[in-house]
Homo-oligomer: A and B are copies of this chain.
Amino acid sequence: MKEACFENIKSKESSLPERTAEQISKLIVEQHLTCEDKLPSEFELAELLHVGRGTVREGVKLLVARNVLEIRRGKGTYIARNPGEIPDPLGFAYYPDQLRLALDLAEIRGQMEPWVARMAAEHATTEDIVRLRESCSVVEQDILNERDHSQNDVAFHVAIAKCTQNLVVPKLIPIITYAVKLFVSLTESRLRTETVIGHREIVEAISNGDGQRAEKVMAQHIEYNRALLQEIVEKMKRDGAQNESAGS
């Protein structure tokens, strides 16, 4: 393995394990390593980066924590399947006002997802449509069996995003649908029928290649949800204010 591209990493500002992690990450990028590839051994990395094996171990731990590397039991350390992609990448779980977060996300969804649906209708392959129909019926099964459908609902919207053939759109959907779980728990069963009908209309428009209709039915679907969420949040605030004045 060539050494030339790796600077002496002991000279910079951040901690040694952090800089070692950066160098390993650079190596993954430059050598085009994928999830098929095993990371070079601790010994090799220590030689290559001119650091001790303990430092390599700490650097590897950092990259495992960030899902760049994964440890496969009994096999060793590999590059992760989607390196660097982590759940809740914007730290929404730590936002103090989850209701406001849900409303702000609904605003973004209302702007973005109708466009995504139109793009999906314009670019979906036959295989995409098959997967989309499957995903749609999984959500329906959840709803019919009165299970929490939030996870599969997100997967349905990701399946639509995959039809666009844009690499990034399917990665943005899990971020902007972060509040779906909260939303489903707040609305309880009130939206089940609307969800089934809305999803079916979207799937039909996309499989007919009708971009305009896909955009329209998606806009209706998201707006229906957004308006209901807003109503619930306003009611909660009014009730909260009443309780406060009753208590004072």
Contact = CB atoms under 8 A, between A and B. Distances in A.
Interface string A69-86: 000000000000011111
A247 interface: no
Nearest to A94: B83
A104 interface: yes
A100 B89 CA distance: 22
A65 B32 CA distance: 24
A141 B171 CA distance: 35
Contacts of A62: 65
Most chain B CB inside 10 Å of its own CB: which residue of A85, A112, A115, A167? A167
Contacts of A104: 166-169
Interface in A158-183: 166-169, 171-172, 175-176
A162 B171 CA distance: 22
Nearest to A86: B89
Contact of A115 (B88, B93, B111, B175): B111
Nearest to A174: B90
Given A65-B61, A104-B167, A85 B93 contact: no
A175 B168 CA distance: 10
A115 B100 CA distance: 20
B68 A94 contact: yes
Contact of A85 (B65, B90, B101): B90
Contacts of A67: 91
Contact of A172 (B25, B65, B169, B172): B172
A234 interface: no
Interface string A89-130: 111111110001100110110011001000000000000000
Interface of A: 25, 28-29, 32, 61-62, 65-68, 82-86, 88-96, 100-101, 104-105, 107-108, 111-112, 115, 166-169, 171-172, 175-176
13 contacts: A29-B93, A65-B65, A66-B66, A68-B91, A83-B91, A84-B89, A84-B93, A85-B89, A108-B168, A108-B172, A111-B112, A111-B115, A172-B175
Closest 10 CB pairs of A and B: A84-B91, A89-B89, A65-B65, A83-B94, A85-B91, A62-B65, A104-B166, A104-B167, A90-B171, A83-B91
